[in-house]
Amino acid sequence: MNMILRIVGYIVLAPIIGGLLEGIDRKISAKMQRRVGPPILQPFYDVKKLFNKQVILVSRSQTFALISYLALMILTGAMFYAGMDILMCFFVMSTAATALYFAAMVTSSPYATMGANRELIQMMAYEPAVLLSCVGFYLAEGTFNVNEIAGSGKLDIIFLPGFFVAFVFILTIKMRKSPFDIATSHHMHQELVKGLTTEMGARNLAIFQVTEWYENVFLMGVVGLFFINGSYISVIYAIVAILLVYFLEILIDNTSARMKWENMLKITWIVTLFTAGVNLLVLMLVRVA
């Protein structure tokens, strides 16, 4: 029963929390740029407006791919908050990203196709850090099960600082923040055409936006997992860590210029190998000893 409640809670609350986080993101970004900025609830107004717009389909296959993207991302978060296998959660998330790729490719638009190809490059950049994070949790806890990791009594951040740094680093890619927002951007001044979302309009663009909210809440949950150990005080640690990481991503986004995909790929892999790789070697040596 508890598992069902957590799943239902994620399905219902994740888009609300995700939309509020985006509204706060916009407000903080505006303050950093010395603007007033939109109201915190503006993302919800935008999505409502998109759902009410006239639907003109570029391709029916795009709608199917976007619905698949949404369904798979909901499944990813539901599995995670239900306490299932974290490795399987990331596999489903990767499948969802593939559905998004096809949603852009089926339009035959050169701009959307370019954005889709960049999305694949981004996947190549962040997947090693994602998989290494799963390996880190397994070496520290002896399991991939989220419930067992969260209730183990250990504060995993002590054993996995390198994995944590690598995961936070690739969040900049996953959350589509500068300097790694090469597939599409939420900053209007950075790109004339919006990458893989170029041909998404009305309901389809709203589905994409809501799915991003689900994904961000899932990713913040993974950040919290590094700090949760079964005690009530660890929940406070996790919430503080999530808020600090989210603010850090906003700060990076507003102080960094977009870089080329070659540099993104190189820098991401170097950071992943240096931080998570060294942490992995230390954990393996400790287990052997």
Residue that has been written with the tokens 């927002």 in this structure: 181
Specify the pLDDT at position 1: 61
User: Taking the domains of the chain in order of start, what are their residue ranges?
Assistant: 2-288
- Please report the sign of the dihedral spanned by the C-alpha atoms of residue 9, residue 238, residue 187, residue 272: negative
62 close to 107: Cβ distance less than 8 angstroms: yes
> Quick one: average pLDDT of 18-31?
92
Model confidence pLDDT, tens digit, residues 31-41: 988 888 889 99
- 104 falls in which pLDDT band (50, 70, 90)? confident
Specify the pLDDT at position 165: 95
Q: How far apart are CA 117 and CA 248, in angstroms?
A: 27
Specify the pLDDT at position 21: 93
- Enter the tokens of residue 1: 């029963």
Specify the pLDDT at position 172: 92
Q: Is the pLDDT of residue 201 over 80?
A: no
Specify the pLDDT at position 192: 47
- Enter the tokens of residue 64: 């199917």
Q: How far apart are CA 273 and CA 278, in angstroms?
A: 7
Specify the pLDDT at position 188: 52
Q: How far apart are CA 79 and CA 214, in angstroms?
A: 13
- Global pTM value: 0.92
- Enter the tokens of residue 83: 């306490």
Q: How far apart are CA 36 and CA 27, in angstroms?
A: 8
Specify the pLDDT at position 10: 94
The pLDDT > 90 percentage for the chain reads: 55
Specify the pLDDT at position 184: 81
Q: Of 47-61, 105-119, 228-242, which has the strongest mean pLDDT?
A: 228-242
Q: Is 195 left (phi over 0), alpha (psi -120 to 50) or beta?
A: left
Q: Is the pLDDT of residue 61 over 90?
A: no
Q: How far apart are CA 61 and CA 103, in angstroms?
A: 7
- 190 falls in which pLDDT band (50, 70, 90)? low
